[in-house]
Structure 1
Amino acid sequence: MGVLVLYIREVDLKNFRNFTDYTIYLDKGTNIILGKNAVGKTNILESIYLLSRGRSFKTSRLSEIIKYDEDNFFIGIKAVRSSGEFTAQFGYAQDNKKQIKINGIEINKQSELLGNIYTILFLPEDLYIVKGNPQIRRNFIDEALLQIRPNYTYDLMRYYKVLKQRNNLLKNIAKKPSLRYTLDSWDEQIAAYGIKVATIRARFVETLSRAVADIHKNLSGGEELEIKYLVNFGNNIDMYRELLKSSVEKDITYGQTTIGPHRDDIKILLDGKAARTFASQGQQRTIALSLKLAEIKIIRDNIGESPVFLLDDVFSELDDDRKMCVMKNIKDIQSVITANDIHMDGSWNVIRLGVI
């Protein structure tokens, strides 16, 4: 586990998106970035997220982040921890060369950034955690687990690697049936890693469901929220193996594995009904926000420190009561919030972009 950051004090940007050379100073509490559309509010959130996770939430191509007509970008963060100042830097050049430093010491892997600055991100499209397809919900759970259980990365990557190899074999068996005898060894591996992934996910969802219940009741004015993890291969490895064997004909026909945690889902119930079907868009957005707030609580309980909460345009579709409830829930942590305008009173650090 890396050094635990208490709060980010300063973010320096060079040739990052629309910023040529810009420094933003943050308070340890609530920071609200105000400005019209296209002035770069979300870009600031992206820079903090990138330096905490090693990747962007907007693009998989770092070259797209470089300011037009430039050939590199740089992000620097100065943060405060209990033992003193902490610094992190991320530089990227057009020739695909990266330079990442933590406290002035260069690191070789982007994954080494994890565990130094914990962040939770809320975007307007996060309502698709509720209304979207199962892959979006699985990604939400996996992203949360990668922060609080770094070893989960290994099991997840191994599972998907074996899954890809088994799927390739299934396609080859359709052309060459004599290869079928080799399936058993892949079934053993996929069952071993799959049961690990599903077990870790299921335990996390149980914790998440407990954490989110009170948060959502408070945020929504009394609605009951429950989260359940739905597996499609039983609850033990023997049942998993049997289902893999019984589905082999279908798997060969489709050229893909139809059983396993890559097909699991998370059921979200609002007052006992499926939120994906029965909740309004406003309710779905509130559920997504409640899930993010619950994730903060879980990180605090597991890590002992609060993550930085990054919220993009969170106020646009919330009524005043829910806005104030959100602000109350995040008053004890550092948050960076983007908005076009805000019509609430509070002792917040307000940063105005696009104002001379």
Structure 2
Amino acid sequence: MILTSLSLLNYKNFKSKTFQFNHKINCIVGNNGIGKTNVLDAIYHLSFGKSYFNPVASQNIKHDQDFFVINGDYIKDNKDEKIVISLKRGQKKVIKRNGKPYEKFSEHIGFLPLVIISPADRDLIIEGSDTRRKFIDSVISQSDKNYLNHLINYNKILAQRNALLKYFALNHTFNKDTLEVYNAQLNEYGSLIYEKRANFLEDFIPIFKARHEAISNGKETVDLLYRSDLSEDHLNNLLQKNLNKDKSLQYTSVGIHKDDLQFNIESHPIKKFGSQGQQKSFLIALKLAQFDFIKAQSGVNPILLLDDIFDKLDENRVAQIIKLVDDKNFGQLFISDTHTDRTENAVKQAHQSYEIFRLS
């Protein structure tokens, strides 16, 4: 799968810009604040229907403008594919594939597999469990439509159950039968999601460890530990046991929406005991394992975005990572950096065709 061209109109800092891309390596270089990351984010947007860096859709519209349009031309399975994403202030975002709008954005997820490696990934280590759950969900969802639908349904029912608990508290009332309808639905979808996450991590963790061993030359041992309420009991039982607590808190305190992934280095949490360099290597191994997993599931080489890859990594380590594209298992690569010479020196070592785009 190849992204051949990208057109931006009123997207972030771009008034109007078009790129014709190399089928292998593309380097976006320029000073800080010039929009390098915005180009990569537009490519991410085409795959996921949203920004990687700013979840508020309207804030991706250029200042003083009323709309944005992102247009991407792809070759996938020897067929031309055109994806257009547009948003007008005050209206719903529209995603079109070959001129036909999607009824549900979830139908588009997984069609254009993509992995991004960015300094913003550090949020996976320092932020709360929600960030790590989103990582698990985004990897599984790119290859499993049922999982994404289960997740959407679970979150919808969870919101309804929480609203009911608030209603009970506000009106000093309680209806066990109504609550149990939601409990049964949460149990159904929650059990499926838990099982899928557990099976996914069983496959994913060995891939991650192998990637980390290659990046760190086997100097450290790392692990991912899955934490879930459902490893202790069925969700239905947990909801019954925690009913008084939920009534008091006015929200659902147990379930797969509380799952977490613990990142360990040498059997200790990497958040507390890992250096910045170790954390960066850990995250890159995590993302490359994501690449491997998605490729194995979809049979397609995901697009790989390396945003500001020299951040906290020396040039030798970067060159090592870029050399991965020598392997036929990797496809199209996009890199952003502030230094043209540094980037060019690194990509030359991959012995692949490349293009450098200088933003000014």
Residue of structure 2 in register with 1:120 after alignment: 115
How much is the aligned-residue C-alpha RMSD, in angstroms? 2.1
Q: Does 1:328 align with 2:334?
A: no
Distance in 2 between residues matched to 1:250 and 1:98, nearest whole Å: 39
SS state of the match for residue 74, structure 2? strand
Distance in 2 between residues matched to 1:106 and 1:190, nearest whole Å: 31
- Alpha-carbon distance, 1:243 to partner: 2.2
Distance in 2 between residues matched to 1:10 and 1:208, nearest whole Å: 32
Q: 1:46 aligns with which of 41, 46, 49?
A: 41
Distance in 2 between residues matched to 1:150 and 1:205, nearest whole Å: 18
Q: 2:129 aligns with which of 121, 130, 134?
A: 134
TM value normalised by structure 2:
0.89
Aligned residue type for 1:37: N
Q: 1:260 aligns with which of 244, 255, 258?
A: 255
Contact 2:123 2:131 survives alignment (8 Å):
yes
Residue of structure 1 in register with 2:66 after alignment: 71
Which ranges of 4 or more aligned residues in structure 1 deviate by more than 4 Å?
none
Residue of structure 1 in register with 2:223 after alignment: 226
Contact 1:208 1:227 survives alignment (8 Å):
no
- Alpha-carbon distance, 1:10 to partner: 1.0
Q: Using a 3 Å threshold, how does the CA distance of structure 1 residues 190 and 110 change in structure 2: closer, same or farther?
A: closer
| Superposition pairs of residues 243-254 of structure 1, within 5 angstroms | 243-254=238-249
TM value normalised by structure 1:
0.90
| Superposition pairs of residues 137-286 of structure 1, within 5 angstroms | 137-174=132-169, 175-222=171-218, 223-234=220-231, 237=234, 240-286=235-281
Q: Does 1:349 align with 2:347?
A: no
- Alpha-carbon distance, 1:339 to partner: 0.8
Aligned residues: 347
Contact 1:131 1:284 survives alignment (8 Å):
no
- Alpha-carbon distance, 1:34 to partner: 0.7
Residue of structure 2 in register with 1:10 after alignment: 5
- Alpha-carbon distance, 1:33 to partner: 0.8
- Give the % identical residues: 31
- Superposed CA deviations along residues 29-77 of structure 1, whole A, max 9, x for unmatched, are 2211110011111111121111111112233343332333333322211
Distance in 2 between residues matched to 1:19 and 1:167, nearest whole Å: 41
- Alpha-carbon distance, 1:301 to partner: 0.4
- Superposed CA deviations along residues 181-224 of structure 1, whole A, max 9, x for unmatched, are 53322222211111111111111122220111111111122122
Aligned residue type for 1:94: R
Q: Does 1:93 align with 2:99?
A: no
More displaced 10-residue stretch of structure 1: 214-223 or 83-92:
83-92
Distance in 2 between residues matched to 1:172 and 1:103, nearest whole Å: 45
In structure 2, stretches of 5+ residues that fail to align are none
Q: Does 1:305 align with 2:300?
A: yes
